[in-house]
Amino acid sequence: DSGVTQTPKHLITATGQRVTLRCSPRSGDLSVYWYQQSLDQGLQFLIQYYNGEERAKGNILERFSAQQFPDLHSELNLSSLELGDSALYFCASSFTGTGNTEAFFGQGTRLTVV
């Protein structure tokens, strides 16, 4: 158990809908990363938050957004869903988000858009 909790584990929804994925980082970790794992794109970095502030942005679509709350949990919001958004979404956390700390991954949320 990495200590990073993601909910829900599975999500099935229809095209055009909106969903929210939740991530609770390890106790004491300030930085949260979101990744998307799909068959054709592999593991892609989406976005990073550090202590409530956005720190880095990757290949995140405009239909997607995220935030990190004062209690440090994070949510990834996906809207106007398309079939191609079906993927495994991972959250990872680290203490400071610096090069000297490890990132620990949650078990992921599998999103299926039908």
Which residues of the chain form contacts with other proteins (CB under 8 A)? 2, 4, 33, 35, 42-43, 45, 48, 55-56, 58, 90, 92, 94, 97-99, 102-108
CA distance 66 to 43: 18
For residues 14 and 27, which CB has a smaller minimum distance to other proteins in the complex?
Answer: 27
Quick one: tokens of 56?
């880095």
Beta-bridge mates of residue 94: 31
For residues 25 and 106, which CB has a smaller minimum distance to other proteins in the complex?
Answer: 106
| Closest distance to other proteins from the beta carbon of 27 (Å) | 17
Q: Which residues contact 54 (CB under 8 A, 6 or more apart)?
A: 47, 48, 66
Are 91 and 7 spatial neighbours (Cβ–Cβ below 8 Å)?
no
| Closest distance to other proteins from the beta carbon of 8 (Å) | 14
| Closest distance to other proteins from the beta carbon of 20 (Å) | 19
For residue 25, the Cα-to-chain-centroid distance in whole angstroms is: 11
For residues 79 and 104, which CB has a smaller minimum distance to other proteins in the complex?
Answer: 104
